[in-house]
Structure 1
Amino acid sequence: MAAPLEVIVTSDSGSQLWNSTVFDLHSGSSLLSYRGGNSSGRTLCLLRGEFLLSAQLGKNFINLWEIQRKDQLQQKIVCPGVVTCLTSSPDGLFLAAGVAEVIYLWEVCTGKLLSVLSRHYQDVTCMRFTDDSSHFISGGKDNLALVWSLCSVIQLDSNHTPDPRHVLSRHSLPITDLHCGLMGAQARVATSSLDQTVKVWELSSGELLLSVLFDVEIMSVTFDPCEYFLFCGGSDGNIFQVSLCSQSLSLDKSFQSDNDGNQVFKGHRNMVTCLSVSLDGTFLASGSHDETVRLWDIQSKQSVRCLAHKGPVTNAFITAAPANMFLPDSRPAVPLPRFSRHLHASEGDGSESGDVCVRIGLYTQVSQQEEEDTYLQKADRLNTLMNAVTDKSVFGDGENTKVRVAELEEEVQTLKKINKDLYDFSSQLLTKPT
């Protein structure tokens, strides 16, 4: 049997035998399972295609498995508190976790805690990175969704408190889920809330593009890859498909099933907690508190497969199968380090031996200049520095330059003599009588 191109990774809160399971997207057969504890919602994620991570339900640690080793016991990453949401950047360089109302951001290759963000007023419920890893978005029980620029967050200046790039504040009740589309910083973001609305935002400007009102609370949301449709999981078990290409689309609308693409998927008997669309946009996976994961054919709106679980489903997503998932003898290219629970700047132990710390920001000498300097004075000082660098590059510095000039002049004279000798020899050959 050939390895599948896409798989469904799921977890539930009731199983005693395994934490999460990998299913074949097309056959529904169970391929791998990972033992140890239970995963809380919005925390199951892949890291670099080599590790599977999830936060332990109600505990202050993250479970970690090597993706290809199904019989292993999980490793643990201890966190400062109970993890409410967890996500990794698509490039595999950063890991972000919500602990109560605080966001912790780690650098994966070193395990260093780069930043602690405290801008939410209540628990963080969900987080997502953009596909280019340049931004991430966090949603919380304080009704806010915050857009963070990764570049500003990882500045290692202890005196600088990062601010979100945008504050999306149009929801009136806690945010339950969010999804970020493609196109990096130009992406569109969908947020769902207990206020029975789903809102679509423009990431670059933070502007609201669309608000859809439903008759029930919305617990999960996702786009299809082409962003033709918006899929919203309701607390009543229904899944609502909203067309984003309708000519009659207005900023605020109420959902109504019609022939323009707004449809309802019926089959779950309890709230839909997670949604995911296949890479080609033909299948929709949904997890529910009715202890099932359903696979839907989007075109026909029919449930083509039902995967039974032992408890309420907490996570379910479709992903491309990592290259080494079905190679038992493979190993991660780089093992994960120990993750810190404290900012290094506050520990007082300095940097570890051999580490290089690059600080993004102003040089210390510049920051210590007197605040009363005028713009013209700063410009003159900058011009002086540039001229000094240019003079040194072009004209050199002292005796070394004089020696070099003498060497070059001698080389020029040698080349002139060689050229004259070649000319004389050629003239003799041409004028020699036959």
Structure 2
Amino acid sequence: MQPLTLLAACFCQLTSLWDQLQQKIMCPGPVTCLTTSPNGLYVLAGISENIYLWEVSTGNLLVILSRHYQDVSCLQFTGDSSHFVSGGKDCLVLAWSLCSVLQADPSRTPAPRHVWSRHTLPITDLHCGFGGPLARVATASLDQTVKLWEVSSGELLLSVLFDVGILSVTMDLAEHYMFCGGSDGSIFQVNLCTWPGQREKSFQPEQEHGKVFRGHRNQVTCLSVSTDGSVLLSGSHDETVRLWDVQSQQCLRTVTLKGPVTNACIMLAPVSMLSSDFRPGLPLPHFNKHLLGAEHGDEPHHGGLMLRLGLHQQGSEPSYLERVEQLQAVMSSTLEKNVLGGQDQLRIRVTELEDEVRNLRKINRDLFDFSTRIITHPTK
């Protein structure tokens, strides 16, 4: 099946599924960008200058991140769902650790792992490469540059200067090439293997490390590369979607739409998507608009298992840390009441409580390690 035929078939099937599942989920404000974690557990949305994080299975709003100063323009998870990156109109790019965000004290705003502030105009797009915590992140901006960062160290690896503003960016799976969509309709192919040791470089299409795809008549808003790196998909405000052969820079197909294209991507279609008998096994719940939704007027949800890290509670039961504190309070009270007599009985009681405290601490530590492995290594 040709790539375009596969995309059309997937679109028809998704339209059928949407007719069955469509529901309106009201958010606290206009959504400027939206993404889901690759493991399907979380949804991120940029609403004004805030980032909202929901749990898909329950619809609970877990945290609101307020570290951008202007509207959030783009969001993306790393491939293993352990980190996510946000870019905004404030020219900042923030790299977040999902584990740290979920464990943060609810009374304090979590801090990002890295703050990248080398762009001078609004961030328009970003792309997370392969590797999870070791991934490289490409960021595009209206300042006519695309920058390549390393998540593990936070270092700037490469900055490429163009002669036009850049609206979109992506890389092939092997990260040999970086594709950048310009405001004039051009698509620039940057060879990442020809600039060893250089941190800053101007793009020169006439040289061997640069090629240009020409055909769009307006700004290129989205880019996507096939898994084998042979086909490039682009969408533009000129109301067309184009498929390109990467090796020859020739346009293979052009699809004309009835309005500007804002997003498009190439994805592997699961078998169930092309089956007429496919029915989703888990309905999507309504997303709460407030933290701890039941306390702020949202309807509580029942019947699902909720797992929380750190200071989050599971249902109405006290956490292990709270039980440890209660036992320590009982120990202190027992010591005060029996300080004048019953020393033998007191020592026995204290020994029993200390054993229980140690057991509870071990359970809490094991639960934390198990939960961390689920988040950082979801496929294992």
TM-score by shorter chain over 0.5: yes
Q: 1:363 corresponds to which residue?
A: 321
Q: 1:314 corresponds to which residue?
A: 262
Q: 2:222 corresponds to which residue?
A: 274
Q: Tell me, in whole angstroms, the C-alpha distance in 2 between the residues paired with 1:165 and 1:224.
A: 26
Offset at residue 161 of structure 1 (A): 2.2
Q: 1:31 corresponds to which residue?
A: 9
Unaligned runs of 5+ in 2: 312-319, 329-349, 360-380
Map 1:259-408 onto structure 2 (within 5 A): 259-344=207-292, 347=295, 356=306, 358-361=308-311, 363-364=321-322, 389=355
CA spacing shift, 1:321–1:32, aligned 2, 3 Å: closer
8 Å CA contact 1:67, 1:324 repeated in 2: no
Offset at residue 359 of structure 1 (A): 4.1
Equivalent AA in structure 2 for residue 309 of structure 1: L
Q: 2:85 corresponds to which residue?
A: 137
Looking at secondary structure, tell me which structure has more strand per residue. Answer: 1
CA spacing shift, 1:392–1:86, aligned 2, 3 Å: closer
CA spacing shift, 1:123–1:70, aligned 2, 3 Å: closer
Q: Which runs of structure 1 show a deviation greater than 4 angstroms over 4 or more consecutive aligned residues?
A: 26-29, 65-68, 70-73, 348-357, 364-369, 384-388, 390-393
Q: 1:98 corresponds to which residue?
A: 46
**Match of 2:63, SS?**
strand
Q: Tell me, in whole angstroms, the C-alpha distance in 2 between the residues paired with 1:336 and 1:229.
A: 37
What is the CA deviation profile of residues 101-131 of structure 1, one whole-angstrom value per residue up to 9, with x for unaligned ones?
Answer: 1111000011100011111000000000000
Q: Tell me, in whole angstroms, the C-alpha distance in 2 between the residues paired with 1:270 and 1:249.
A: 34
Question: How many aligned positions are there?
Answer: 328
8 Å CA contact 2:58, 2:301 repeated in 1: no
What is the CA deviation profile of residues 157-212 of structure 1, one whole-angstrom value per residue up to 9, with x for unaligned ones?
Answer: 42232110100110000000000000101000000000000000001111100000
Q: Tell me, in whole angstroms, the C-alpha distance in 1 between the residues paired with 2:52 and 2:286.
A: 15
CA spacing shift, 1:341–1:262, aligned 2, 3 Å: same
Looking at secondary structure, tell me which structure has more helix per residue. Answer: 2
Query: CA RMSD, aligned part only?
Result: 3.0
8 Å CA contact 1:220, 1:272 repeated in 2: yes
Task: Work out which of the two has the higher radius of gyration on C-alpha atoms and give 1 or 2.
Answer: 1
What is the CA deviation profile of residues 284-342 of structure 1, one whole-angstrom value per residue up to 9, with x for unaligned ones?
Answer: 00000111011100001111111111111111100001221111221112111121111
Identical amino acids, percent of aligned pairs:
58
Unaligned runs of 5+ in 1: 5-23, 35-64, 370-383, 394-434
Q: For 1:211, which of 144, 159, 165 is the aligned residue?
A: 159
CA spacing shift, 1:75–1:303, aligned 2, 3 Å: same
CA spacing shift, 1:388–1:70, aligned 2, 3 Å: closer
CA spacing shift, 1:249–1:236, aligned 2, 3 Å: farther
Offset at residue 345 of structure 1 (A): 6.8
Give the TM-score, by structure 2 length.
Answer: 0.78
Equivalent AA in structure 1 for residue 321 of structure 2: Y
**Match of 1:30, SS?**
helix
Offset at residue 353 of structure 1 (A): 5.5
Q: For 1:183, which of 114, 124, 131 is the aligned residue?
A: 131
1:230 aligns with 2:178: yes
